[in-house]
Amino acid sequence: MISLYLAERTWLHGIPAGWKLIALALISLAMTPLDNLPIMVALNVATLALYASLGRAAMAQIALLRPMWPLFAILLALHWWNGDIRLGLIVSLRILAMMLLANAVTMTTRMDAMMDAIEPVLTPLGWIGLSPRAVALAVAMMIRFVPLLFALWEALNEAYRARTGKRGGWRLLSAFCIQTLRLSHHTAEALAARGGAPRGPRR
Amino acid sequence: MSGAILFDNVSLKRGGREVLSGISLELTERRIGLIGNNGSGKSSLVRLLNGLLSPDTGRVNVHGLDVKDDVAELPRKVGFIFQNPDHQIIFPTVAEEVAFSLEQSGRTRREAAAEANAALARFDREAWAERPVHALSEGEKQLLCIIAVLVMEPAVLVLDEPFSSLDLPTRRRLERLIAGLPQQILMIAHEFDAYASYDRVIWLHEGCVQMDGQPDEVVGAYRAFAEASQ
Amino acid sequence: MKDRSLVQIALYAAIFAVLGLLPRFDIPLAGGVPITAQSMGAMLAGVMLGGWRGALAIILLLFVVALGAPLLAGGRGGLGVFFSPSVGFLFGWVAAAFVAGLLMRVLRNQPVFASALVASVVGGIVVLYAFGIVGMSLMTNLSLLDATKACLIFIPGDTIKAVLVALVAQTVARGMPEALLSRSA
């Protein structure tokens, strides 16, 4: 399925996922209490330089933030109204930089590698019955279901249109819920037939 | 006897209804068909074999395993193919789906991935490995289900109406594939010509064995019965 | 965890994602205002699956989004969304599903529509916005009042969604009562 992972390999792709996540967390912790406009500007410049070093495809991702313009505008307006436009700028720049940095980690890390990096954190969940393998299975099943449910919705829509000439929209939701519940029964059965939900580490 | 499926006076109730009554069968043949009307108990009968259902009375033994006492080992011994492949496939890509069966059998992720590719290669489908499942056709999905089940090397393969959503050429291809497998096969199907080469066909009617014997005889009798009840 | 629960959680996480991928609904009552379906997902998960499983479904979805899947409305995803001002709403969805499910259980002897409506409004709006507004206030250094002003505009739309979810729950209860797992949990 479409993912946010950038296929063109960059230097950031080579850095282990765990390191990137820790770096992101540290930068986030450091930046949050900061009330320093020059530092925020510097952070954003550094972030843009990072993106530039990752290539054109990465730079194109910055455009993905465009829908957030209204939000930033409202944010600045509210701070200006309160008489503290400087704080508004700091906050906006901080959010912008952090979102771009976090996105850079996502772009350069495979989902599988992320799972591996996070797995040590997940092991305590094993004590309440959620083994890392079960989590991995849940993730895989969910991804598997998305196109299937899409197709199911389209099938219901098609049948509705054939009967009424109109698009189903929200009216299909009840039938959709019932059908998906039936699907879950069958899938649970199939899972049981193959040994059931796994226990233990991901090996 | 290790190579047989034994039903000993088995009864089963589902939802208050008696779906199987006093079934006693000894299945040693390699290719066995199961026919009958919907609601006759066929699906329930086969689900006793892999532990999805448990008999209320009587015992069921599959190649030395008792379905009540040894239920955890059944999925490895009994491979099950359902009617709708979309209800069985739980992973988004082909290789992952096959690898899951192997991981369930105890391989590490790396081993499972390697063996999954080898399994796909045996069926001339190495190219499928990274393909998303929803890009496969119905027949291809059903083949994937079969591959994913076969890598567990079960002794018995049970198929519950596996051909319902397939066109004739696809069905023929899968029939030929299944016919060549080393496992003991128990299949429910409404496409009776699939039973031409089978050793035995059992007709189940309202929870009891109506007839049991050679494919031609039993299918013929069932056909006559179905026509007569119009 | 039982097979069936695991499957249902994965399923509702997927439903949440699909609701984000569907084209916007048009509801005649709303005067043609397009409604994005995705925020119904939290109410739906809680109302249908109950508190624990509903909340886990949203957590699973957020987990997969964090791993890098673009499953939020508009194709958004990845770690970036957790640094946006609306991050409070993301975690709020978990609480919303939990509270909605809890209320469905508490109100299980009341008529389905009424209990589902209460569950959806309290969980999907009151609790959700509490988390969302606090989150926004923290992320943007705005006062709670200002943060509330910024979010107010979405409440009417979400009220319509709550009604929709209640209608769906009622219809499902008529077609397949066992489907409303939240009541039998």
Per-residue pLDDT of C123-146, as tens digits, reads 999 999 999 999 999 988 888 888
Q: Is the pLDDT of residue A9 over 80?
A: yes
Q: What is the pLDDT of residue C173?
A: 87
**A interface toward B at CB cutoff 8 Å?**
1, 133, 137, 140-141, 143-144, 147-148, 151, 183, 186-187, 189-196, 198, 202-203
Question: DSSP class of residue B230?
Answer: -
Residues in chain A within 8 Å Cβ distance of B131: none
pLDDT of the residue at C125: 92
In terms of Cα–Cα distance, which of B191, B207, B227, B229 is closest to B33?
B191
Q: Model confidence at C23, in pLDDT bands (50, 70, 90)?
A: low
Do the beta carbons of residue B163 and residue B10 sit within 8 Å?
Answer: no
Residue of C nearest to A20 (CA): C79
Cα C185 to Cα C5: distance, rounded to the nearest angstrom: 11
Residue boundaries of the structural domains of chain C:
3-184
Structure-token pair, residue B96 = 């992952």
Q: Which pLDDT value is given to residue B31?
A: 95
DSSP element (H, E) containing B167: none
Instruction: Give the model confidence (pLDDT) of B31-46 as tens digits.
Output: 999 999 988 999 999 9
The reported pLDDT for the residue numbered C36 is 65
**Model pLDDT, residue A2:** 61
Amino acid occupying residue B189:
A
- What per-residue confidence (pLDDT) applies to C55? 95
Domains, chain B:
5-91+156-220 (3.40.50.300)
**What pLDDT, on a 0 to 100 scale, did the predictor assign at position B51?**
84
- Contacts of residue B132 in chain A, CB cutoff 8 Å? 1, 147
CA distances from A116 to A120, A123, A132, A201, C9 (A): 8, 12, 10, 11, 22
Residue B127 has pLDDT above 70, yes or no: yes
H, E, C per residue of B119-185: HHHHCCCHHHCCCEHHHCCHHHHHHHHHHHHHCCCCCEEEEECCCCCCCHHHHHHHHHHHHCCCCEE
Mean pLDDT of chain C: 86
Chain B residue nearest residue A147, CA to CA: B134
- The share of chain A scoring above pLDDT 90, in percent, equals 23
**What is the average pLDDT across C37-64?**
92
Q: Which of A22, A91, A177 to mutate to test the interface with C (most CBs of C within 10 A)?
A: A177
B52 touches chain A (CB under 8 A): yes
| Percent residues over pLDDT 70 in chain B | 99
Calpha distance A176→B90 (Å, rounded): 19
Give whole-number Cα distances, C120 to A69, A181, A202, B117, C124, in Å. Answer: 30, 20, 37, 47, 5
Q: How far, in Å, are B70, C43, C169 from residue B66 at the CA level?
A: 5, 45, 43
Query: Helix-strand-coil percent breakdown of chain B, rounded to 5?
Result: 40, 25, 35
The verdict on B87 touching A (C-beta cutoff 8 Å) is yes
Nearest in space to B85 (alpha carbons), one of B150, B141, B131: B141
Amino acid at A113: A
- Per-residue pLDDT reduced to its tens digit, A107-128: 899 888 888 888 888 877 777 7
Question: Which of B48, B27, B45 has its CA nearest to residue B35?
Answer: B45
Whether pLDDT at C99 is above 90:
yes
Show me where the domains of chain A are located: 11-109, 123-193
CB contact under 8 A, C70 and A184: no
Show residues of chain A in contact with B76, CB under 8 Å.
195
Query: What digits encode the pLDDT tens for the residues A15-52?
Result: 999 999 999 999 999 888 888 889 889 999 999 999 98
As a whole number, the mean pLDDT across chain B is: 90
| For residues A148-155, average pLDDT | 88
Res. C33 pLDDT band, cuts 50 70 90: very low
H helical segments located in C77-127: 87-106, 112-121
Instruction: Check residue B116 and give its pLDDT.
Output: 93
In 3D, which of A181, A136, A137, A144 has the Cα closest to residue B134?
A: A144
Show the beta-strand stretches assigned E in chain B: 5-14, 17-27, 31-35, 57-62, 65-66, 78-81, 156-160, 184-188, 200-205, 208-213
Asked if the Cβ–Cβ distance from B92 to A1 is below 8 Å, we say yes
What is each CA distance from C3 to A196, B5, B57, C185, in whole angstroms?
6, 27, 26, 16
> What is the rounded distance in angstroms from the CA atom of residue C145 to the CA atom of residue C133?
9
CATH class of the C3-184 domain in this structure:
mainly alpha
- Tell me the Cα Rg of chain A: 23
Is the model more confident about A171 or about B57?
B57
In this predicted structure, what is the pLDDT of residue C32? 41
Residue C19: pLDDT band (50, 70, 90) is: confident
Q: What is the pLDDT of residues B175-227, one digit of tens each?
A: 989 989 999 999 999 889 889 899 999 999 999 999 999 999 999 999 999 99
Q: Return the residue matching tokens 């959620």.
A: A130
Residue A37, min C-alpha distance to chain C (Å): 14
Phi first, then psi: give them for residue B108, nearest 5 degrees: -80, 170
How high is the mean pLDDT of chain A?
Answer: 85
- What is the complex's ipTM, to 2 decimals? 0.87
pLDDT value at position C20?
Answer: 81
Retrieve residue C70's tokens: 């673009």
CB-CB contact of B91 with B100 (8 Å):
yes
Q: Is pLDDT above 70 for C24?
A: no
Q: What is the pLDDT of residue A195?
A: 83
Q: Is the pLDDT of residue B52 over 90?
A: no
Asked whether residue C28 carries a pLDDT value surpassing 50, the answer given is no
pLDDT score recorded for residue C179: 77
Name the neighbours of C, counting chains with at least 3 Cβ pairs within 8 A.
A
Q: How many CB atoms lie within 10 A of CB A194?
A: 21
User: What is the distance between the alpha carbons of residues A1 and C105, in angstroms, rounded to a whole number?
Assistant: 37
- What is the arithmetic mean of pLDDT over A69-89? 86
Give backbone dihedrals phi and psi of C14, rounded to 5 degrees, phi first: -70, -40
pLDDT of A200 > 70? The answer is: no
